[in-house]
Amino acid sequence: MNPTQQRIADRVRSLTQEVIAGTSYFLVDVAVRGHKGTRVVEIYVDSPEDFGHDDLAVVSKEVGFLLDVEDVVDGSYKLEVSSPGIKRPLKVPQQYQKNVGRTLRVRYQTEGNEEIVVGDLTSASDDEIELELSSGDQLRLPYQTINQARIELPW
């Protein structure tokens, strides 16, 4: 993201956090694309509980109102609020915690090398995850060593 997009994303992140404070929702990511007059603001929100279109509509309406009142985005823009979906990488500890029991493909950093493992997510704290590998070994990975993690689909 360029500096203008980053500034907008930071403000959107802050406003979204205000809107979802006190709910079970958590912010996964914010992305801003395009240029003045054609911007797209994408907000990804999730919840450990059931989460549907009605929930997303409420968040979208409230965040959109604040973006307009505070004139965060110069010119016209499109606001897209959605859940991250199963194909998007896991970004925040709450997503890992929500997916304990699922199989993950994880790219992580070790002493200058990047490794890839597939394993069952057995636990996720605020600091690290634990995977059970097919060998039966347990692997603990702090979040700062994870480059990317995705749910491994069974097909």
Residue type, 72: V
CB 15 within 8 A of CB 66: yes
Average pLDDT over residues 91-115: 95
Q: Which CATH number does the domain 93-151 belong to among 3.40.30.10, 1.10.10.60, 2.30.30.520, 2.140.10.10?
A: 2.30.30.520
With CA atoms as reference, report the closest residue to 104 among 93, 114, 117: 117
The domain spans of the chain are 3-82, 93-151
CB 67 within 8 A of CB 15: yes
Write down the pTM of the prediction. 0.86
Q: Given pLDDT bands bounded at 50, 70 and 90, which one contains residue 85?
A: confident
105-153: pLDDT as tens digits: 999 999 889 999 999 999 999 999 999 999 999 999 999 999 999 999 8
17-54: pLDDT as tens digits: 999 999 999 999 999 999 988 999 999 999 998 888 99
Rounded to a whole number of angstroms, the distance between the first and last alpha carbons of the chain is 34
Handedness of CA 114, 115, 118, 120 (dihedral sign): negative
CATH class in words for 3-82:
alpha beta
How many Cβ atoms sit within 10 Å of the Cβ of residue 29? 17
Q: Are strands 113-124 and 103-110 parallel, antiparallel or unpaired?
A: antiparallel
CB 105 within 8 A of CB 116: yes
Please report the beta strands in 10-76, taking only residues with DSSP state E, as ranges in sequence order. Answer: 26-33, 39-46
Q: What is the 3-state secondary structure (H, E, C) of 43-57?
A: EEEECCCCCCHHHHH
Query: What's the pLDDT score for residue 49?
Result: 85
